[in-house]
Chains A and B, each alone.
Chain A
């Protein structure tokens, strides 16, 4: 069975400092992994995706994530936080690239202090 665990329910950083949102996954098959962001009163937006190509994946707004099979991790990072990054972030897993059942983590709320 597939699952994701987001290790922090809330992360708070200062503007201009690095962001690290942690995600571990469990999958019996070769997984596809995604990070989605949800701003208040807006729909979920895809930040980036891993589908068995390069292990370091670059996404929108300066975010990137690295797939580490040995650690079953897919942590999201950004070198310098911006106020507009404050939102809820979800790590998501599915089987291969079929885009079937997307399994979401519980989310990490990112706060950015000025």
Chain B
């Protein structure tokens, strides 16, 4: 297992287009998180899943954003009708949370979105 994998690494899109990002977590991890990071800022929480259930969503996640994790493995983050303000690095992380053990969150390298 090579860690958390995100695709694509870079995406340039025109304003108004839809984009979809994919995250493949570490295989035994049951939690998966999405964060957004803009220049000069720390990552901001968007949402997280425990297995296939989406347990928490940030107010930052407007109705143009949707995330899924249909089989409790990989996840997708879709942004509809992109705006220039959506330009950012989108980070995915995964961790394991259980009765007797919690691991830290491991992060992917991110998908950099540029909306022109």
Contacts and interface: CB of A to CB of B under 8 A. Distances in A.
Contact of B109 (A43, A46, A99, A104): A43
Interface in A28-68: 34, 36, 41-46, 49
Interface string A58-100: 0000000000000000000000000000000010000001111
From B4, B41, B107, residue with most partner A Cβ within 10 Å: B107
Contacts of A20: none
Contact of A44 (B45, B58, B91, B97): B91
Contact of A104 (B3, B4, B42, B103): B42
A104 B48 contact: no
B40 interface: yes
Interface residues of B, number: 28
Contact of B105 (A97, A102, A107): A102
Interface string B93-108: 1010100001111111
Which secondary structure characterizes the binding site on chain A? loop
Contacts of B45: 101-103
A106 B110 contact: no
A43 B104 contact: no
B72 interface: no
A62 B48 CA distance: 32
B3 to A, nearest CB: 7
Contact of A105 (B4, B40, B42, B56): B42
Interface residues of A, number: 21
A43 B112 CA distance: 12
Contacts of A36: 107
Contact of B104 (A41, A46, A100): A46
Contacts of B41: 106-107
Contacts of A103: 45
Interface of B: 3-4, 31, 33, 35, 40-45, 48, 55-56, 58, 91, 93, 95, 97, 102-110
Interface of A: 34, 36, 41-46, 49, 90, 97-107
